[in-house]
């Protein structure tokens, strides 16, 4: 049986000047759908293309152009919903969210307010071995991204790049179930991991492919439990929304800062104003961007250019049948099947490619030994050169070959590390390298005995001392290892030295 049980972490408590406060956080994650074409046009989504080269007439909002839904993007949203164990809505619809922005040529964004494609789901946020928080997903909707205004190319002019205009985004909205800065970062990491497993978003945060709006409020201990019982937001404090965060570190810093700012206001007898804020990492503070708009400010209405989106259960079932094994299940299986610790299993399942590599090495071998070698030697070595597993010069078959030589007793752990380095830098078949370079461990006790005899004969004074003080036997073991080029079986050397010294 896979064991997915866990205990919930304590919420983060911040001591104010007057009393304690708890944090309440809800996230809206914008994840760019991994798709070659945009949500309503055939234009390319390629990152880093020449400005304004990936813009169709639809994206540029030329008069009379009509949006056409991209079925692949819809499938990606459904796949994501299934991966987050969420309700898939067979009927959803697109709405216009009206606002003016120079990088939004339509004058509105096509989004899904009233009928999102994905409803309620949940995700387990891991905070350490056996410790996790369940965070509820409220909804996922599909929407268009906006373009990009460029203000730093000319002192007097601003430019606009519409390449990103109309690219499909999934907005993943959580319930306010996150209770601390570390949890918020871990939640983003978990969503990112699941999306990468699913292949629905590449999760490149630096390129802005995954970014989060972070809603923060504070309340007194006990109030959150009342909210949980009643689902009445009246028990929670007023929230502020910190926009467009694309770094785990800054998310944590911004939450810390924002919580302290709100606590100072409240303890001073003031009231938090609901608003949108920006985090300035250089100053380490959030500042007001605009007061919070409500849905009615956007004059949402159903987009008359698009029919309601109806999908069939059979199509959803097909997508469900093609889902890969997801991180929680994989981690639990690794613990069960290979006898790994939770920690090692979570390191190995961080990325699907890492997990696949490990499984190929561990197949038919000692799982713990395989885990040690993959994590400590291989990952360590790859990290040194900032390579990921897909760039590994050592294949699973080669690493497996090294492990087989260790298990058979052909090479010691120390020689295995030398061998790994040779395979890493020059390639080749491990067994053949060991043969050619004479790296085989000497287990022949006769040969070891001869080496021990020689060291004893050459060092009568040391022998005398060692007979008084048995701890000095280690010196002889070291000499024998040196004399055999590290190839003698250390266990056999220890035994023979002890015996000969009497
Ligand atoms: P909007 O679209 O106006 O930003 P939503 O109702 O969709 O508003 O909520 C946005 C996010 O704010 C959700 O992730 C929700 O969980 C979170 N949220 C709502 N109330 C609070 C609160 N009191 N404290 C922290 N987060 C909250
Ligand atoms: Mg919001």
Residue nearest to atom 22 of ligand 1 (CA): 239
Residue 313 within a domain: no
Furthest-apart CA pair in the chain: how many Å? 101
| Host domain of residue 377 | 324-436
Residue 310 within a domain: no
Final residue of a structural domain among 436, 465, 481:
436
What phi, psi does 393 have (nearest 5°)?
A: -75, -15
Residue 319 within a domain: no
Q: Which ligand is nearest to the CA of 227?
A: 1
Q: Is the pTM of this model over 0.95?
A: no
Residue 485 within a domain: yes
Angle, in degrees to the nearest 10, between helices 352-362 and 396-407: 40
Residue 1 within a domain: no
Q: Choose the residue to mutate in 99, 216, 239, 255 for probing ligand 1, maximizing ligand atoms within 8 Å of C-beta.
A: 239
Q: Are 353 and 389 in contact (CB under 8 A)?
A: yes
Q: Are 119 and 139 in contact (CB under 8 A)?
A: yes
The rounded Å distance from CA 132 to ligand 2 centre is 25
Final residue of a structural domain among 436, 465, 483:
436
Q: Are 307 and 107 in contact (CB under 8 A)?
A: no
Domain count, the chain: 3
- Residues ≥6 apart with Cβ < 8 Å to 380: none
Which residue pairs from 460-469 have beta carbons closer than 8 angstroms and sit at least 24 positions apart in sequence? 463/501, 466/501, 467/501, 467/502
d(CA 116, CA 94): 8
Which CATH number goes with the domain that contains 464?
1.10.10
- 132 and 250 within one domain: yes
Each of the 502 residues of the chain gets a pLDDT tens digit; together they read 667 789 999 999 999 999 999 999 999 999 999 999 999 999 999 999 999 999 999 999 999 999 999 999 999 999 999 999 999 999 999 999 999 989 999 999 999 999 999 999 999 999 988 899 999 999 999 999 999 999 999 999 999 999 999 999 999 999 999 999 999 999 999 999 999 999 999 999 999 999 999 999 999 999 999 999 999 999 999 999 999 999 999 999 999 999 999 999 999 999 999 999 999 999 989 999 877 777 778 999 999 999 999 999 999 999 999 999 999 999 999 999 999 999 999 999 999 999 999 999 999 999 999 999 999 999 999 999 999 999 999 999 999 999 999 999 889 888 899 999 999 999 999 999 999 988 887 777 788 888 888 989 998 888 888 888 888 888 988 988 888 888 888 888 888 888 888 7
- 489 and 356 within one domain: no
- 52 and 179 within one domain: yes
Residue 240 within a domain: yes
d(CA 424, CA 416): 12
- 458 and 392 within one domain: no
The rounded Å distance from CA 466 to ligand 2 centre is 75
DSSP-derived 3-state class of residue 395 = coil
Residue 318 within a domain: no
Query: 236 CB less than 6 Å from ligand 1?
Result: yes
- 461 and 428 within one domain: no
- Got the DSSP string for 453-465? HHHHHH-HHHHHH
The rounded Å distance from CA 215 to ligand 1 centre is 6
- 328 and 290 within one domain: no
The rounded Å distance from CA 432 to ligand 1 centre is 62
Query: 272 CB less than 6 Å from ligand 1?
Result: no
The rounded Å distance from CA 235 to ligand 1 centre is 14
- 450 and 488 within one domain: yes
Query: 217 CB less than 6 Å from ligand 1?
Result: yes
- 176 and 196 within one domain: yes
d(CA 303, CA 173): 22
CB atoms within 10 A of CB 499: 10
d(CA 372, CA 380): 11
Q: Would strands 240-245 and 275-280 be described as parallel, antiparallel, or unpaired?
A: parallel
Q: Choose the residue to mutate in 21, 24, 28 for probing ligand 1, maximizing ligand atoms within 8 Å of C-beta.
A: 28
- 217 and 171 within one domain: yes
Residue 24 within a domain: yes
- 356 and 207 within one domain: no
The rounded Å distance from CA 363 to ligand 2 centre is 47
- 256 and 346 within one domain: no
Final residue of a structural domain among 274, 305, 336:
305
- 383 and 473 within one domain: no
């Amino acid at each position: 049986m896979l064991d997915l049980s866990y205990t919930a972490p304590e919420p983060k408590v911040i001591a104010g000047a007057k009393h304690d406060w708890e944090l309440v956080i809800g996230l809206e994650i914008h994840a760019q759908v991994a798709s070659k074409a945009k949500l309503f046009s055939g234009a390319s989504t390629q990152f880093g293309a020449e400005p304004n080269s990936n813009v169709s007439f639809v994206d540029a909002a030329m008069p009379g152009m009509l949006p056409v839904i991209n079925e692949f993007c819809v499938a990606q949203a459904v796949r994501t919903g299934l991966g987050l164990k969420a309700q898939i809505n067979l009927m959803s619809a697109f709405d216009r969210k009206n606002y003016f922005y120079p990088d939004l040529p339509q004058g509105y964004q096509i989004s899904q307010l009233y009928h999102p494609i994905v409803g309620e789901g949940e995700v387990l946020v891991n905070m350490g071995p056996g410790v996790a928080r369940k965070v509820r997903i409220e909804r996922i909707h599909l929407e268009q991204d906006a373009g990009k205004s460029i203000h730093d190319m000319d002192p007097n002019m601003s430019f606009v790049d519409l390449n990103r205009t109309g690219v499909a985004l999934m907005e993943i909205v959580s319930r306010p179930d996150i209770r601390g800065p570390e949890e918020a970062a871990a939640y983003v990491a978990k969503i990112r991991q699941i999306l990468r497993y699913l292949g629905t978003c590449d999760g490149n945060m630096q390129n802005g492919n995954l970014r989060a709006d972070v809603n923060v409020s504070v309340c007194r201990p006990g109030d959150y439990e009342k909210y949980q019982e009643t689902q009445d937001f009246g028990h929670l404090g007023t929230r502020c929304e910190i926009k467009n965060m694309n770094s785990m570190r800054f998310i944590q810093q911004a939450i810390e800062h924002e919580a302290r700012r709100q606590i100072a206001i409240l303890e001073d007898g003031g009231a938090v104003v609901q608003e949108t804020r920006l985090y300035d990492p250089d100053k380490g503070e959030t500042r007001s961007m605009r007061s919070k708009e409500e849905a009615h400010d956007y004059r949402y209405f159903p987009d008359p250019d698009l029919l309601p989106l109806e999908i069939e259960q059979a199509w959803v079932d097909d997508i469900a049948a093609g889902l890969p094994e997801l991180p929680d299940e994989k981690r639990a299986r690794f613990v069960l099947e290979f006898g790994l610790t939770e920690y090692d299993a979570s390191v190995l399942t961080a990325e699907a490619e890492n997990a696949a590599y490990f499984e190929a090495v561990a197949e038919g071998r000692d799982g713990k030994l395989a885990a040690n070698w993959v994590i400590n030697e291989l990952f360590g070595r790859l990290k040194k050169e900032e390579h990921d597993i897909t760039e590994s010069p050592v294949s699973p078959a080669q690493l497996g070959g090294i492990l087989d030589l260790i298990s058979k007793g052909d090479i010691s752990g120390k020689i295995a590390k030398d061998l790994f380095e040779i395979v890493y830098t020059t390639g080749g078949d491990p067994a053949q390298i060991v043969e050619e370079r004479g790296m085989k461990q000497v287990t022949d006790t006769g040969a070891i005995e001869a080496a021990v005899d020689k060291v004893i004969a050459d060092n009568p004074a040391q022998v005398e001392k060692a007979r008084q003080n048995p701890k000095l036997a280690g010196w002889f073991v070291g000499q024998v290892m040196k004399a055999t080029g590290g190839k003698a079986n250390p266990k056999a050397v220890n035994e023979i030295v002890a015996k000969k010294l009497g």
